[in-house]
Structure 1
Amino acid sequence: MSSNVKSPSPSQDLSGVVDVEQAEAALVEHYPRLVRLAYLVLPPSLGRNRRVLTAHALTQRALPRSRRSGDAEAIPVQRSREGRSADPGYAYIRLRVVSTALDAGLPLRKSALPKRAQLPPLLPQVWGLRLFPRSGGADELALDQRLSALSGPARAAFVLRGLERLADGDVLKILDAAGVDEPGAALAEADGVDAAHELLRSPEFDPCSLQARPTDLMRRRQHMKAAAVALAAAVVCGALLGLPGDGWGPDGAAAPAYAKNPASEAALDPAQLTKVAAGTWKRSARADFSVWPARGALTGDEALLRRALAVWARPGKTVQVSATTGTAAGAPAGPAQLLFAGEVDAARVVLLYDGLRVVRYAEPKDGTSGAALDFARVDGATSAEASALVVSRVDGNVRYLTAPWVGGVAVRDLLKPAASGSALKRDGEGVTEPMSSPAQARACSSWNALELRDDKGVRRLSTDLGELVPAHLTAGRPQAPREATAADWSPTACSLGDARSNGVRSVNSWQYARQALPEGNGPAAWICTRADTWRGAGGRALAQFRAGGAAAVAAKAEDSAACGAREPSVLAGVRWKSRGGNWYLLGAGSNDVVSVKTAGGSRTPGNTVAAPLERGARAGLTGRLANGSKVSTLR
């Protein structure tokens, strides 16, 4: 680790002060982004589990100790073109996070006392588990390796550029304020990394969406046995000393330690599984997973079902466990419902439902080594979301088990809306033949979606985003979305890659504005794509600008209600260069935006704006709604 980090001087580049309340609000609002920033700046040599815990600890300790706003220390305000950087509270917290993350990477020296950041965090602590972000692909792994080869300041420079989207001048100011001796050298070293900055937003580097694995179970078992023996001896000795006469005192209402819980035992008994009859869905007032019949050739294999339930309750160290974001991975509270049990490809597969989650258990045909257990949250599913479940993934292909009300299945390439769909055959149990999945594809030359026709003739599109339940695709205004067609999604299908592995329930695409480009350069379209999750929170919105057959991401918002049913208003802007070589600030809002104001102060009536942009000019936009309230650009 490079040693070109000096003691930070927070007073450098002082352009204003904020109080503790401002800093605290910024920390709460942008906590996931700040933790990701700390995780990326910390040296990978710490290991993924230690980096996760240290990143959370450093971010939570970023506030000043004083709780009185009047005594808050002077906070340097970094000025930049990025909206978050303009917030003094966020700029201060970000500087503290970067500074302590750089300190954490410094080697310990015998001649000096260690800084707090160099020591393992006291809190948070997780006993018996190793926590780490979801694994990404080859690109993310290559980027992590490149970052590990950089010095701490260079790594911070790359991350501030890519994650925070700061200009080089602002990066230099932050590094200098964080105590880096040679910020220019760190920036030059970061120039050697040619990876795309978008990779920094991958789940690979998200320390807030984690996977859990046990620590060394054998060693833990030995330690626990020794501790249990010591505790038992202490209890026995204490009880013997405290008894007034011979014999043991009563245990009161407590059951003996060896007694079994009847509810837990029932949940693990294959005979207690609910098996819905085949025609129940036709008579039911609801259409969800609760009326799926039990299907598959192995629904009577009690040994297989017992193994599936036992692994669900207590998965061993060799079981590959995955859960969508926001989904609990614990044992069932009572007997579950059996949806499917059968052989698919080279595995025996069991699908179970407990009213809140769908669980997939899979084991090889020739044994149980390498079993997998997958969880997905499905509470509140309607017939649209409960129409199909992933039953198998092999070599980039996926098979689905379809709902009993699905009358026909086809595959549609969203990038070829004029092409007719290809029929997807199903066996007698409702399992489809394999289809190519876009979930693992690196390039976006095509994007396959599942077209499901129900018993009433309604056609719905869903797509695989790497989870058990495919995401339902809709189109139209957020207040009244409709079933989407391939033509609705053709312009924005490739943006679905950003929603992978986030527990997505549905994704809506909506063209919210059209605009005539300056200098007769033709029309442009503005499209907002919103992904809603099963857990409610964590929604993502993305605004795209399309002109001349090309598309650009204008703005993104994470964990936001923007562009959805609760907050349908949307505003976004881009810098755009005309064919004549002139630069403009273009912006567009939804129909309820009655005027748009640029950072320069001019206000344009209507929901679109096209203002000439001088070199170095600020490129901010705000809008005003008909009721007088303001709307800001997505961020």
Structure 2
Amino acid sequence: MQSEKPKSPPAGGPAPVVDVEQAEAALVEHYPRLVRLAYLVLPPGLGRNRRVLTAHALTQRALPRGRKAGQPVAVPSQRSGARPHDAGYAYVRLQVLRGALDAGLPLKRLAWPKRAQFPPLLPQVRGLQLFPRSGGAEELALDQRLAALSADARAAYVLRGLESLDDAGVRATLTAAGCEDPDAAVAEADEVEARQALLASPEFDPCSLQARPTDLMRRRQHMKAAGVAVAAAVVCGALLGMPGDGWGPDGAAAPPYARNPAGQAALDPDRLTTVPAGAWKRSARADFSSWPARGGLTKDKALLRRALAVWARPGNTVQVSATPGTASGAPPGPAQLLYAGEVDSARVVLLYDGLRIVRYAEPKEGTGGAALDFARVDGATGADAGAVVVNRTDGNIRYLTAPWVTSASVGDLLKPAGPPLDLKRDEDGVTASFAGPPASGRCTSWSALRLREADGAVRVSTDLGELTPARLTAGRPAAPREAAPGDWAKTACSLSSVRSSGVRSVNSWQYARQALPEAGGVAQWSCARAETWRGRGSRTLAQFQTAGSAAGAVAAKAEDSLACGARDAKVLAGVLWKSQAGNWYLLGAGSKNVTSVTATGGARAEGNLLAVRTERGTQARLTGTLTDGSKVTTLR
């Protein structure tokens, strides 16, 4: 049961005094209320588990230290109508409030940190995370509103709602707790709707807890690392005790517990590389290294420090994603800042370390639900470094475009005749939000981003669920060109098969045209090859497209094959096709360097095209002969 709300001593007259026994009795009687008070005032950025432990620690050490029982302790005066023995509660409440406010203060280089700013020594729980039971939507909304307040305003709101103090009592208590401007704190608290009943809900009760395990895999790794460290310390101690050279001042190895200067520098926002605007015009390379630092929060050191800290050590609540083949470890040294600003309902930071683009995003209200995304971009050229996803919400995308991009538009690959729609960009180069390609379901449209660069070139790319869009090209693999309207009209929907696989670029090549039997028209054979940033994992699709079909049919596919690529452009594929009269044919087509095509069963055709009558359900293998006499089989 909740203890009865203690009343406060009178505002006038001499300040009441309490002894240690009074304070201890008040703490034991009202312990749940005091812990709830501390939990509500503590900064939400600590995380729910640490807030719970810190709230209990602050309450348990609220008693006077170094005083014998019976020695008086002064207590600031409170509102009228209180009983004399309530002075003990007023004292411990004040001590709890002071500790909670101190815990939210930033650390200063030239000042000793306060005890409340350190993680609590006691109580401690190993292997478990403790947090209050979840409430409803109203409790969540109130928690978010409180997180947006300053610590003093949060204390004013809680004293008013949980302790039922009037404004005079709130100001007096805040003043006694060390608040410099209690009037401003009360005014800021007035901006939040009074919801006293919600403050007593289980959502804010750190005495009624749920338990969940910590990260079991990370715990196992830490135990192994601790074992290795102990073994290394034993070996090193033995070596140091032996005669001869060891870890002396002139040795090549650093002392075992020395800090890594590069690692420390990587966490310092003041060490971030920032490229000035216009530097790309004088740079020998048009890539991410010449992007200037943009956005309205590039000077927000606290935000940048959080982004770097999460990059180095993401917590259990951070959503981390990385494209295949992309390392998600800490930065090797100071990174380059590309962007820091508010986009939609989030604060976003984009960083570049020479190999990866890293995106950190957190809500505008608090830091709960932060996300960290990694994408590999090593060796990116100007065509590959034209845009980075700055936000993706409900299937809609915003891009941060390169400084050399002069205009942006979006078009539908399935409707090449339709004009592209202009995309507005703000002064930092962030595009307006637009609908991305379908992630699943029917493929009725496929949006593509078109960027016009300062030299007049137009680059076409599309979103495949990653930080950088995949560049779209067309033509012979040895000399691909920028995709034009119509190049992807019948093959765009096949791009869904390479979503979220680390794709750098996709080339579509129409390698053959074939007149169909029985005057069935003309068919096109094309192959689409997706290259990845990591080099491995390429995917190739061969498609058969008739004149009346809206989309091509997949004839063959392969992974990690050189077929249809710049190093080996040969390709061969086959399908079963039914004519208007109901007759079935085995059709095959190879690239221009195929001189003949042979099917199992003996059917053979000179040239790179094959069309023979067959039966429904026939399974035949095709083999092609190249100009040099070597053989090629269908994609597999």
TM-score interval, normalised by the smaller of the two chains? 0.5 to 0.7
Contact 2:398–2:432 (CA under 8 A) maintained in structure 1: yes
Letter in 1 for 2:216: D
**Residue number in structure 1 paired with 2:417:** 418
State the distance in 1 between where 2:611 and 2:242 align: 91
Query: What is the aligned partner in structure 2 of residue 503 from structure 1?
Result: 502
Question: Where in structure 2 are the equivalents of 1:319-358 lying within 5 Å?
Answer: 319-358=318-357
CA shift digits 1:129-173 (9 cap, x unpaired): xxxxxxxxxxxxxxxxxxxxxxxxxxxxxxxxxxxxxxxxxxxxx
Residues of 2 paired with 1:244 and 1:523: CA distance? 85
Distance change in 2, residues 1:564/1:217 (3 Å): closer
Q: 1:629 to 1:367 in 2, by over 3 A?
A: same
Match of 1:518 in 2: 517
Q: 1:454/1:218 Cα in 2 relative to 1: closer, same or farther (>3 Å)?
A: closer
Give, in angstroms, the shift of residue 541 of structure 1.
0.6
Name the SS for the 1:604 alignment partner: strand
Counterpart-to-counterpart distance in 2, 1:366 and 1:337: 26
Could you tell me whether the CA contact under 8 Å between 1:400 and 1:432 is conserved in 2? yes
State the match for 1:486 in structure 2.
Answer: 485
Q: Conserved in 1, the CA contact under 8 Å of 2:603 and 2:612? A: no
- Contact map agreement 2:341 2:347 (CA 8 A) in 1: yes
Matched with 1:281 is 280
Q: In structure 2, do the counterparts of structure 1 residues 516 and 272 end up closer, same or farther at CA, with 3 Å as the change threshold?
A: same
Aligned equivalents of 1:602, 1:526: Cα separation in 2: 20
Deviation string, structure 1 residues 287-327 (Cα, Å, up to 9, x no partner): 11010000001111111111111111111111111111111
Residue of structure 1 in register with 2:570 after alignment: 569
> Is 1:456 equivalent to 2:455 in the alignment?
yes
Equivalent in the alignment of 2:554 = 553
Query: Can you list the C-alpha shifts for 1:599-630, whole angstroms capped at 9, x where unaligned?
Result: 11232111110011146754110111112111
**Residues 620/406 of structure 1: CA separation in 2 closer, same or farther (3 Å cut):** same
In structure 2, what is the Cα distance between the partners aligned to 1:618 and 1:394? 46
Q: Sort the Cα spacing of 1:230 and 1:257 in 2 relative to 1 into closer, same or farther, 3 A.
A: closer
| 8 Å contact kept, 1:377–1:534 | yes
Residue-by-residue CA offset, 1:101-138 (whole Å, 9 max, x unaligned): xxxxxxxxxxxxxxxxxxxxxxxxxxx9xxxxxxxxxx
Matches of 1:356 and 1:222, distance apart in 2 = 27
SS at match of 1:469: coil
Work out the CA distance in 1 between the residues paired with 2:222 and 2:606: 73
Q: 1:557 to 1:219 in 2, by over 3 A?
A: closer
Secondary structure of 1:549 counterpart = coil
Q: Find the counterpart in structure 1 of residue 392 from structure 2.
A: 393
Return the offset for 1:233: 10
Sequence identity of aligned pairs in percent? 66
Q: 1:603 to 1:235 in 2, by over 3 A?
A: closer
Contact 2:356 2:376 in 1 (8 A): yes
Determine the C-alpha separation between the residues in 1 that align with 2:222 and 2:452. 56
Q: Which amino acid aligns with 2:445?
A: S
Deviation at 1:592, TM superposition (A): 1.4
Kindly provide the CA deviation profile for residues 6-61 of structure 1, in whole angstroms up to 9, marking residues without a partner as x.
xxxxxxxxxxxxxxxxxxxxxxxxxxxxxxxxxxxxxxxxxxxxxxxxxxxxxxxx
Partner SS, residue 397 of structure 2: strand
- Give CA deviations for 1:260-281 in whole Å, capped at 9, x if unaligned: 1111111111111110010111
Measure how far apart 1:225 and its partner are.
10
1:308 pairs with 2:307:
yes
Q: 1:612 — aligned with what?
A: 613
Give CA deviations for 1:524-577 in whole Å, capped at 9, x if unaligned: 111111111111111111011111422311000111111011111111000111
Q: Label 1:518 to 1:338 Cα distance change in 2 as closer, same or farther (>3 A).
A: same
Shift in CA distance, 285/548, structure 1 to aligned 2, threshold 3 Å: same
Contact 1:502/1:533, CA 8 A, preserved across alignment: yes
Counterpart-to-counterpart distance in 2, 1:504 and 1:442: 21
Q: Deviations over 1:185-206 (max 9, x none)?
A: xxxxxxxxxxxxxxxxxxxxxx
Residues in 1 aligned to 2:262 and 2:233: alpha-carbon distance in whole angstroms? 32
Equivalent residues in 2 for 1:216-255, closer than 5 Å: 216=216, 220=220, 251-252=247-248, 253=251, 255=254
Give the whole-Å Cα distance in 2 for the aligned partners of 1:493 and 1:383.
24
Shift of 1:255: 3.9
Q: Distance in 2 between matches of 1:232 and 1:434?
A: 54
Matched residue, 2:401 = 402
| 1:228 Cα deviation from its structure 2 partner | 8.5
**CA offsets, 1:75-101, max 9 Å, x none?**
xxxxxxxxxxxxxxxxxxxxxxxxxxx
Residue of structure 2 in register with 1:600 after alignment? 601
- Deviation string 1:199-236 (CA, Å, 9 cap, x unpaired) is xxxxxxxxxxxxxx994278549957985898699789
Q: Which runs of 5+ in 2 are unaligned?
A: 1-126, 128-212
Q: How far did residue 456 of structure 1 move?
A: 1.5
Task: State the alpha-carbon separation in 2 of the partners of residues 235 and 219 from structure 1.
Answer: 24
Q: Where do 5+ consecutive residues of structure 1 fail to align?
A: 1-127, 129-212
Q: 1:316 to 1:217 in 2, by over 3 A?
A: farther
- Pick closer, same or farther for the CA change 1:375–1:223 going to 2, 3 Å: closer
Bigger Cα Rg = 2
Q: Does the 8 A contact of 2:438 with 2:446 survive in 1?
A: no
How many Å separate the matches in 2 of 1:497 and 1:232? 50
* Bigger shift: residues 560-569 or 609-618: 609-618
Contact 1:413 1:486 in 2 (8 A): no
Partner residue, 1:591: 592
TM-score by length of 1: 0.62
Partner of 2:577: helix, strand, or coil? Answer: strand
How far apart, in 2, do the equivalents of 1:404 and 1:624 lie? 49
Q: What letter matches 1:557 in structure 2? A: A
d(CA) in 2 for partners of 1:244, 1:293: 54
Equivalent runs, 1:533-552 vs 2, <5 Å: 533-550=532-549, 551-552=552-553
Change (3 A) 1:429 1:615: closer
Matches of residues 80-119 of structure 1 in structure 2 within 5 Å? none
| Match in the other structure for 1:470 | 469
Aligned pair in 2 of structure 1 residues 221, 524: CA closer, same or farther (>3 Å)?
closer
Q: CA separation in 2, counterparts of 1:216 and 1:327? A: 23
Q: Is 1:391–1:400's contact at 8 Å kept on the other side of the alignment?
A: yes
CA-CA distance at 1:502 after TM superposition: 0.8
Distance 1:360 1:575 in 2: 47
Distance 1:475 1:346, change over 3 A: same
Counterpart residue type for residue 546 of structure 2: A
How do 1:157-196 and structure 2 match up within 5 A?
A: none
> Which residue identity does 2:509 align to in structure 1?
W
